[in-house]
Amino acid sequence: MPKRQPPHRDAAGMPRALEPLRLSRVLAAQPQEVFRAWSSAEHVRRWFSPESVSIPHARVEMRPGGAFELSMRPPSGAEHFVHGTFVEVRPPVRLVIDMKVSDSAGKALFRAYTEIDLHAVAEGTRLDLVQSYTLLSPDAARMVEGAPHGWASTLDKLEREAVRLGSAPTGVARSVAHGTFHLERTYEAPVTRVWQALTEEAAKQVWFAGTPGRWELIERRMDVRVGGRERLKGRWESGLVTTFDAIYHDVVPNERLVYSYEMHLDERKISVSLATLELKSAGSGCALKVTEQGAFLDGYDDAGARERGTADLLDALAAALAR
């Protein structure tokens, strides 16, 4: 009988490619901040390793053909080395890095072809990772098997670094960027019910909040009248606290709401916005028109996230009205 090859070898006994690892994670930071976390040795050393593993050395040249190299030191002290090259760099949406991992003696262990795609979502950024492996040594099989666990804690650290990068540093240059968007929805519910969902605290709580399981309510209060205020404050899994502070300027029951609001990430004010909501009967339903004008402050790059987040909330409102 022919000799049976180990599972990491093909019929000729050569290293074979394994099933790629596929991970998706939503991070509480904007895509440009997540992308920036890959851009320098200083940033990468803070997060590109599982918990308890340090990075004594890193070299990062973020450009096609540029180096992505680092050493990783676990508590045991037996270092491993990553020798990689950037294949594709498309800020802030996609990175491809071809990496080869070796042991402290320079023996090649495995190749990891790593593709990272970043998508802006209401909560921040959805990171999709595909890592394709080729074993170059039987000693590496266990390392590859443990990759999902290692990436889980590594992405926790990436989120913390991206959040840190999103905080305005001391001495940041002051700036303002403006943006406007319009959204419309038609709901199969009467105007009075849509108005209730927009203006009564218990009804609004059903749909106007963070992602269940990833967001913890800290504070909510609501007083819809001219001069009245609304506040929603919550903490994401990463520890990042977001605060929505609004004041109502115009309240015409069942017809119009006009309010301004500030958004904070932790203690950093990132925007001041003016929102107008207009309601009209549409047959037996309600047509809702939302117009928002925003001023984004001190380097905060919205990149369309506010519009997408508002669209997601309007979809959540539709689901609440359908119950």
For 110-137, the pLDDT digits (tens) are 999 999 999 988 788 999 999 999 999 8
Residues 98-107: tens digit of each pLDDT: 999 999 888 9
Q: Which whole number is the average pLDDT over 60-83?
A: 91
Residues of the chain with CATH 3.30.530.20: 21-166, 176-321
Residues 22-47: tens digit of each pLDDT: 999 999 888 988 999 998 888 899 99
Give me the residue label for tokens 């997408």.
Answer: 308
Contact 214, 235 (CB under 8 A): no
Question: Given this model, what pLDDT does residue 5 score?
Answer: 41
- Specify the CATH number of the domain 176-321: 3.30.530.20
Q: Does the structure show a pLDDT above 70 at 68?
A: yes
Query: What distances in angstroms separate CA 135 from CA 14, 87, 119, 258, one per listed residue?
Result: 9, 20, 30, 60
Q: Where are the alpha helices (DSSP H) in 41-138?
A: 41-47
Query: What distances in angstroms separate CA 208 from CA 22, 186, 318, one per listed residue?
Result: 31, 18, 11
Q: Does the structure show a pLDDT above 70 at 231?
A: yes
Cα 195–chain centre separation = 32
> CA-CA distance, 290 to 207, in Å (whole number)?
16
Select 21-166's CATH number: 3.40.50.300, 2.60.40.1180, 1.10.10.60, 3.30.530.20: 3.30.530.20
Predicted confidence band of residue 164 (pLDDT cuts 50, 70, 90): confident
Higher per-residue pLDDT: 172 or 12 = 172
What is the number of residues in the chain? Answer: 323
| Nearest CA among 312, 287, 311 for reference residue 190 | 287
Contact 144, 262 (CB under 8 A): no
> CA-CA distance, 71 to 166, in Å (whole number)?
26
Residues 250-296: tens digit of each pLDDT: 999 999 999 999 999 877 888 999 999 999 999 999 999 999 999 99
Q: What is the value of pTM for the model shown?
A: 0.55
Contact 99, 82 (CB under 8 A): yes
Q: Which whole number is the average pLDDT over 160-186?
A: 81
Predicted confidence band of residue 1 (pLDDT cuts 50, 70, 90): very low
